[in-house]
């Protein structure tokens, strides 16, 4: 099949990984993919345009930037229409972004199926972020509802996201839940690297609890630190390895000092995504203590691919990924004591860790991978289960 893939991102962070992995998965399945958007397929470190766009966003007042976003609808309509006429795709794949209706409008105008990928309710998300004011919230919300309703089919990353979109007017049956994936070849289970442990200053006899990601308040790291303090008090030889950096790091370090965990917590700072598999390989237990209600945390699927025993809260978005007691363990959201008990149980049982990790890897190989997602998207078009 010929696939026209549109995205309006800078190609960095998790969104860039998602874009590149889906494009690669489509191509690995034998499909021809053409990517359009402000930075196309550029890797962010190589794109001067991506840096320019990032600087424009920082310099402009929020209202002015949102006007440009709304105006992008016209550009996206023109660009998508031009590519449809020349490339003649079997379908258009559009990564949803706030204020853009142009891609869906163009596909409808030319009678080409359009699959919309939605990773977050952006009108809600941007309207609630303290550091990013959303001036035209009503317009963003109405456009979000219309775009998600008007695509041929809307792919969402979690059940709560589907429920939310239906609550704001998207027709029942329009959304298909498809959690994020991972490349199971790149995230292949591997042994711990003793040299890396030594570099981090972690004794080889410690059970390592790990977390990866940008350090932000909503990831629940304060809860994880409280739980770790409970485990450390029992005398268990454990260490918490936090892989990442971010605006919450100073607060984390303050909590570590307050709880007396300085000798039991290591924070790596920012690392390249290519290094993540080797660092996660050091984990004995991998944790995602919290997430926004609609998210499909990519880190959890990466943990699973590497054969790790995973601990997550028992919220619907995590339950889209984890089967409690089979390929991971859940705890009551916000319960530091419950999280601590789960960590202590796993740190003390290598056999249980191996059992859960093995089943987690099997689920990734069979379902939670980008190739499965890409194939499922193509089946939506091929079987014409779309409107």
CATH number at residue 231: 3.40.50.2000
Q: What is the pLDDT of residues 134-185, one digit of tens each?
A: 899 999 999 999 999 999 999 999 999 999 999 999 999 999 999 999 999 9
Average the pLDDT over 345-362 and give the result: 98
* Residue 134 in tokens: 């959303």
Domain around 201? 194-366
Residue 35 covered by a domain: yes
Query: What are the CA-CA distances from residue 328 to residues 181, 356, 376 (Å)?
Result: 16, 6, 25
Query: What are the CA-CA distances from residue 110 to residues 91, 95, 97 (Å)?
Result: 11, 19, 21
Same domain, 261 and 164: no
pTM over 0.85: yes
Same domain, 120 and 226: no
Task: Identify the helix (H) or strand (E) that includes residue 137.
Answer: helix 137-150
What pLDDT is stored for residue 10 in this prediction? 78
Cα distance between residue 261 and residue 226, in whole Å:
10
Same domain, 48 and 125: yes
pLDDT level of residue 387 (50, 70, 90 thresholds)? very low
pLDDT level of residue 259 (50, 70, 90 thresholds)? very high
Q: CB under 8 Å to 131, separation ≥6 — which residues?
A: none
What pLDDT is stored for residue 132 in this prediction? 67
Q: Which residues of 290-325 are buried (b: 16+ CB within 10 A; e: fewer)?
A: bbbbbbbbbbbbbbbbbbbbbbbbebebbbbbbeee
Least confident of 2-6, 50-54, 289-293: 50-54
Name the percent of the chain lying above pLDDT 90: 85
- Give the CB-side neighbour count of residue 197, counting CA atoms within 13 A: 16
Q: Within 10 A of 384 (CB to CB), how many other CB atoms are there?
A: 9
pLDDT level of residue 44 (50, 70, 90 thresholds)? low
The answer to whether residue 133 scores a pLDDT higher than 80 is no
CA dihedral (43, 48, 54, 58) in degrees, to 10, reads 160
What pLDDT is stored for residue 40 in this prediction? 77
Same domain, 333 and 264: yes
pLDDT mean across residues, the chain: 93
What pLDDT is stored for residue 126 in this prediction? 86
Cα distance between residue 335 and residue 314, in whole Å:
11
Same domain, 81 and 24: yes
Q: With beta carbons less than 8 A apart as the criterion, state whether 135 and 92 touch.
A: no
pLDDT level of residue 386 (50, 70, 90 thresholds)? very low
Same domain, 244 and 265: yes
* Residue 34 in tokens: 């053409």
Q: CB under 8 Å to 127, separation ≥6 — which residues?
A: 134, 137, 140
Residue 189 covered by a domain: no
* Residue 61 in tokens: 């007042």
What pLDDT is stored for residue 49 in this prediction? 54
Same domain, 128 and 7: yes
Q: What is the pLDDT of residues 190-242, one digit of tens each?
A: 999 999 999 999 999 999 999 999 999 999 999 999 999 999 999 999 999 99
The answer to whether residue 383 scores a pLDDT higher than 80 is no
Name the percent of the chain lying above pLDDT 70: 94
Q: CB under 8 Å to 18, separation ≥6 — which residues?
A: 95, 119, 180, 298
Please name the residue ranges forming H helices in 238-325: 249-259, 276-280, 298-305, 316-319
Residues paired with residue 91 on neighbouring β-strands, in sequence order: 3
């Amino acid at each position: 099949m010929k696939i026209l893939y549109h995205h309006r991102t800078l190609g960095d962070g998790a969104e860039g990984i998602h874009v590149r992995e889906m494009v690669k998965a489509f191509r690995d399945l034998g499909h021809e993919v053409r990517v359009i958007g402000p930075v196309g397929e550029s890797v962010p470190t190589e794109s001067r345009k991506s840096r320019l766009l990032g600087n424009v966003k920082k310099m402009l007042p929020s209202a002015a930037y949102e006007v440009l976003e709304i105006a992008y609808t016209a550009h996206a309509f023109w660009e998508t229409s031009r590519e449809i006429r020349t490339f003649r795709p079997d379908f258009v794949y559009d990564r949803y972004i706030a204020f853009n209706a142009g891609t869906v409008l163009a596909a409808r105008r030319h009678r080409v199926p359009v699959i919309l990928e939605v990773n977050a309710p952006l009108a809600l998300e941007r309207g609630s972020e303290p550091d990013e004011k959303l001036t035209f919230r009503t317009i963003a919300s109405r456009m979000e509802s219309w775009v998600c309703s008007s695509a041929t089919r809307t792919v969402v990353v979690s059940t709560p996201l589907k429920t939310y979109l239906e609550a704001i007017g998207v027709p029942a049956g329009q959304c298909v839940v498809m959690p994020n994936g991972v490349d199971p070849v790149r995230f292949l289970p591997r042994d711990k690297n003793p040299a890396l442990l030594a570099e981090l200053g972690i004794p080889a006899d410690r059970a390592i609890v790990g977390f990866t990601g940008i350090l932000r308040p909503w990831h629940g790291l304060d809860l994880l630190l409280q739980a770790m303090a409970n485990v450390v008090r029992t005398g268990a030889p454990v260490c918490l390895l936090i892989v990442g950096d971010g605006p919450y790091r100073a607060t984390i370090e303050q909590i570590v000092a307050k709880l007396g965990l300085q000798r039991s917590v290591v924070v790596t700072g920012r690392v390249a995504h290519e290094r993540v598999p080797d660092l996660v390989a050091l984990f004995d237990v991998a944790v995602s203590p919290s997430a926004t209600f609609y998210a499909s945390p990519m880190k959890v699927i990466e943990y699973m691919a590497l054969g790790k025993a995973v601990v997550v809260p028992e919220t619907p978005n995590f339950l889209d990924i984890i089967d409690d007691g089979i390929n991971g363990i859940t705890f009551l959201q916000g319960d530091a004591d419950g999280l601590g008990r789960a960590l202590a149980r796993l740190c003390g049982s290598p056999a249980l860790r191996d059992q859960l990790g093995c089943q987690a890897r099997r689920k990734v190989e069979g379902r939670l991978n980008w190739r499965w997602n890409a194939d499922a998207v193509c089946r939506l078009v091929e079987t014409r289960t779309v409107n």
